[in-house]
Amino acid sequence: MAEFHKLLARLKGALERPQAAPPHENHTAPAQVPVATVAHRAELASAFASELVDVSGHFLGNLTASEAAARVASLARESAAKNVMIGEGVVTRMSLFSAALEGVGCTLTKPRGLDKGQEKIRAAMIDNFANCDIGIAEAHYAIASTGTFAVMSAEARPGSLTLLPPVSVIIVNIDRVVANLAAALAAFGADTIATNRVSFITGPSRTADIEKRIVMGVHGPKKLYGAIIWPEHE
């Protein structure tokens, strides 16, 4: 993966470097050849995958939505997961994941908005988050430079979905993979950041409170799996 990233970087540099005119010749330099959008997206995807692995995450791959649903279902089957929480999508049809998971025998629970006075139901739902086997969410953006997912909470995509289950699976659309934190904040916009809860998730839960040693999964997911969703035709 690192070699692929380096190759794309060299390709981009070569395409953007203007050609030098031969000595004593006076003519207009040829126009730069633009870097194809797909190459730029592939570069960001490669960088994100590398950084995600570096922070102890697991990269499931660059997949179509159907492929990702099948891969997550296989993961659930391999880990003997029975209870799965799945949140509302951002741009991806999460029904693909629901169908695939039900196909391997998983019981699904979907977060839903609750009216005032339904605190007991809300408490039970949060308890289900903490006791389920896998939580699945779609991120609004992914940051290539750090392997970070940015997830904005909603009634049908609560923050507890990515904070409580022992195994967290987060997907993101390739068009929402950005270069760095500044690009992610700009994509959200100042008003959105000011009025919504956004979680920035970099790898599984970790702490160094105990004897200054890194321990995984004490306050949240022990494992984090990520996938980048590409259009079916690419």
Residue ranges of the domains in the chain? Answer: 2-13+35-229
Which of left, alpha, beta for 24 (phi over 0: left; psi -120 to 50: alpha)?
A: left
How far apart are the C-alpha atoms of 69 and 87, rounded to whole Å? 14
Q: Which amino acid is at 110?
A: K
More confident residue, 163 or 141: 141
The pLDDT value given to residue 131: 81
Q: Is the pLDDT of residue 208 over 80?
A: no
Region 81-97 average pLDDT: 95
> Which pTM was predicted?
0.78
How far apart are the C-alpha atoms of 134 and 22, rounded to whole Å? 62
Residue 96 pLDDT class (50, 70, 90 cuts): very high
Could you read off the pLDDT of 109-156 as tens digits, one per residue?
888 654 555 666 666 766 777 789 999 999 999 999 999 999 999 888
More confident residue, 34 or 164: 164
Residue 188 pLDDT class (50, 70, 90 cuts): very high
Q: Is the pLDDT of residue 215 over 60?
A: no
The pLDDT value given to residue 64: 97
**CATH level 2 (architecture), domain 2-13+35-229:** 3-Layer(aba) Sandwich (3.40)
The pLDDT value given to residue 7: 47
